[in-house]
């Protein structure tokens, strides 16, 4: 039976691979690098290794970074795409912007 630490590491690995997207794993250099690192730091349940704990911490940090970056991008896309112009914002709340001043000398009036 797998230990809780091993299950947590596998869960983190799955999360990172999910955040990398649906790119073919054999063609993605980042995925290959990550899988090699996970295989390098593989230890038995009875052995405690400081490097493995550091690698697990690094993996958790990477997963958090990838997830938060994706969520931030989604929020920006959702909220910034609806900004629009000042005229649209004013009309959205029931206001109209005043017309801009045009000088009569610019061709609006007759010269005497």
In three-state form (DSSP H/G/I as H, E/B as E, the rest C), the secondary structure along 65-109 is: HHHHHHHHHHHHHHHHCCCCCHHHHHHHCCCCCCCCCCCHHHCCC
Distance CA 13, CA 39 (A): 11
The answer to whether residue 108 is domain-embedded is: no
Distance CA 50, CA 104 (A): 80
> How many domains does the chain divide into?
1
The answer to whether residue 12 is domain-embedded is: yes
The answer to whether residue 109 is domain-embedded is: no
The position carrying tokens 């390098």 is 40
pLDDT tens series, the chain, 112 aa: 457 777 888 888 888 888 887 556 566 787 788 778 777 766 655 566 667 677 778 888 988 998 999 999 999 888 887 667 788 888 889 988 888 888 877 665 555 4
The position carrying tokens 């938060």 is 68
The answer to whether residue 81 is domain-embedded is: yes
The answer to whether residue 9 is domain-embedded is: yes
pTM: 0.54
The answer to whether residue 62 is domain-embedded is: yes
User: Interhelix angle for 4-20 vs 29-40, to 10°?
Assistant: 170
Tell me the two tokens of residue 22.
């649906």
Domain span at residue 21? 4-92
């Amino acid at each position: 039976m797998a230990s809780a630490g091993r299950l947590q590491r596998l869960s983190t690995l799955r999360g990172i691979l999910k955040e990398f997207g649906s790119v073919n794993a054999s063609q993605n250099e980042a995925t290959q690098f990550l899988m090699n690192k996970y295989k390098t730091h593989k230890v038995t349940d009875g052995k405690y290794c400081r490097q493995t704990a550091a690698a697990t911490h690094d993996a958790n940090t990477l997963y958090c970074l990838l997830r938060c970056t994706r969520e931030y991008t989604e929020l920006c896309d959702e909220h910034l795409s609806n900004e629009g112009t000042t005229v649209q914002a004013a009309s959205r709340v029931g206001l109209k912007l005043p017309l801009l001043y045009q000088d009569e000398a610019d061709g609006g009036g007759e010269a005497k």
